[in-house]
Structure 1
Amino acid sequence: MRNIPHVLVVAGSDSSGGAGIVRDIETLAAFGVKASVAITAVTVQTHHGVQGVDAVAPERVAQQMRAALSANPIAAVKIGMLATPATIAAVAQILVDHPDIPVVLDPVLVSTSGRALLTPDATDALRDLFRACTLVTPNLPELSVLAASTVASSPDSVAGQARSLLMAGAKAVLVKGGHAGGVEAIDLLVQPEHADQSFASPRLAASMRGTGCMLASAIAARLAFGDPLAAAIARAKAFVHGKFRET
């Protein structure tokens, strides 16, 4: 087992199994990667909505991360729901001590049903966390909040908002295009001193919860195997598209 890459998932639970850490573990298993976990919050959810959220104490989150990092060969970290500024700060402190491990941050702000999963005072702390992450993967509404702007409606405005996150400290930003229109779902990778890169797949008439969790975990899985960032994104997006085709 110690020869198999491990990904440490730092995220909240979802009692319905449609998103959160359950979706992360399923995705990592599909890529042949072992999962270690640090639970940040316990949520009460159905497929139709969030009924309750209890954040785990920040120090307990940090303790879980330390235990996972000492027990297993962690080759990548995937971060999802963080809930509070104190939890974000606790996670950031652990990551500072492990700068060589790639980190994928899915900035979970709200649930699919619209329930806030990050306290309103935590946005600045989340931006500060960018500096410790290899990749940040916002969807269009999340991007607008993080960029303190309206939801981008054109390719140029998407790229501009993504670059504002680079200026805030992000090393790379993958903007997910699932909320946009068009016959293709186009994700945009923006990096300093690199040409912007698009990843497109046909838009299917299907819906599925937890796709952001799935994509970020799939990217982390491929980074754990040593893939370059763009190659990891391409394989992850193909995986998510295949799951859509199965629904």
Structure 2
Amino acid sequence: MKTIPHVLVVAGSDSSGGAGIVRDIETLAAFGVKASVAITAVTVQTHQGVEHVDAVAPDRVAQQMRASLSANPIAAIKIGMLATSATIAAVAQVLADHPDIPVVLDPVLVSTSGRALLLPDATDALLELFSSCMLVTPNLPELLVLAAVPRSVADQARTLLAAGAKAVLVKGGHANGMEAIDILFQPEQAEQSFASPRLTATMRGTGCMLASAVAARLAFGDPLPAAVALAKAFVYDKFRET
């Protein structure tokens, strides 16, 4: 029998099911990939907002990751909400022991409703984690915060590359225009654009969905640009269904 790849999801829970690890698992299942999980935080959420956040102890997050890695053939790792600098440090230690596994990091800073999901003092630690990841997927507001340079999107993305990111996929959902355009930046390569018609529908958890879809395709061995293209198409199809 052909082995079905597993993706390890390191992320927070969302009691409403609209985002976080629930979205991740749904997406991986749609791609025929099995999920293993390491919960970083338990959140109390509705579709209107985040009411409470309890971060899981950092050593417990690391233990979950190591248990998943020992139990299953993990072919890719998707990281979402990390909450604290201590959790980021714990995750980084585990990743250092598995440098050959591709990692997709969705840098979750705030919820859709505006609640902070990463403590302000953890931003520098998150930037340091970029060097352990194959891809980082910020949206435009996240990119501005992380790059901390009020220049063009390309300048901001290349600032993250200079900080250690191997590739940056800037999500264009917060921009204007008839198309939603995501742009992939890689060192010493021309940028690549992935466009889809902009729809009027709204949906929570799209960042989780996109990053998990990329991780799913990387688990099957796709090159990064091909994985991004398929993930972008998947999210667009989900928007059309809403």
TM-score range, shorter chain: over 0.9
Measure the CA separation in 2 of the matches of 1:47 and 1:53.
Answer: 15
Aligned to 2:57: 57
Aligned to 2:140: 140
Query: What fraction of aligned residue pairs are identical, expressed as a percent?
Result: 84
Asked whether 1:163 is paired with 2:152, we answer no
Measure the CA separation in 1 of the matches of 2:2 and 2:28.
Answer: 16
Asked whether 1:198 is paired with 2:196, we answer no
Equivalent residue letter for 2:45:
Q
Asked whether 1:129 is paired with 2:129, we answer yes
Measure the CA separation in 2 of the matches of 1:189 and 1:159.
Answer: 10
Aligned to 1:111: 111
Q: Does the residue aligned with 1:40 lie in a helix, a strand or coil?
A: strand
Measure the CA separation in 2 of the matches of 1:185 and 1:138.
Answer: 14
Aligned to 1:67: 67
Q: Does the residue aligned with 2:13 lie in a helix, a strand or coil?
A: coil
Asked whether 1:85 is paired with 2:85, we answer yes
Equivalent residue letter for 1:235:
L
Aligned to 1:40: 40
Equivalences for residues 14-33 of structure 1 within 5 A: 14-33=14-33
Aligned to 1:209: 204
Equivalent residue letter for 1:16:
S
Whether contact under 8 Å (1:2, 1:73) holds in the other structure is no
User: What is the deviation of 1:149?
Assistant: 3.1
Equivalent residue letter for 1:62:
A
Whether contact under 8 Å (1:2, 1:72) holds in the other structure is no
Q: Does the residue aligned with 1:141 lie in a helix, a strand or coil?
A: helix
Structure 1: tracts of 5 or more residues without a match? none
Measure the CA separation in 1 of the matches of 2:184 and 2:3.
Answer: 31
Deviations 1:71-99 (A, max 9, x none): 00000000000000000000000000000
Whether contact under 8 Å (1:14, 1:44) holds in the other structure is yes
Structure 2: tracts of 5 or more residues without a match? none
User: What is the deviation of 1:123?
Assistant: 0.2
Measure the CA separation in 2 of the matches of 1:96 and 1:2.
Answer: 28
Q: Does the residue aligned with 1:41 lie in a helix, a strand or coil?
A: strand
Measure the CA separation in 2 of the matches of 1:39 and 1:215.
Answer: 19
* TM-score normalised according to structure 1 size: 0.97
Deviations 1:25-82 (A, max 9, x none): 0000000000000000000000000000000000000000000000000000000000
User: What is the deviation of 1:2?
Assistant: 8.0
Measure the CA separation in 1 of the matches of 2:18 and 2:34.
Answer: 20
Spell out structure 1 runs of 4+ moving beyond 3 A.
Answer: none
Asked whether 1:176 is paired with 2:171, we answer yes
Measure the CA separation in 2 of the matches of 1:71 and 1:4.
Answer: 14
Whether contact under 8 Å (1:105, 1:137) holds in the other structure is yes
Measure the CA separation in 2 of the matches of 1:50 and 1:2.
Answer: 41
Asked whether 1:237 is paired with 2:225, we answer no
Whether contact under 8 Å (1:174, 1:190) holds in the other structure is yes
Equivalent residue letter for 1:118:
L
Q: Does the residue aligned with 1:181 lie in a helix, a strand or coil?
A: coil
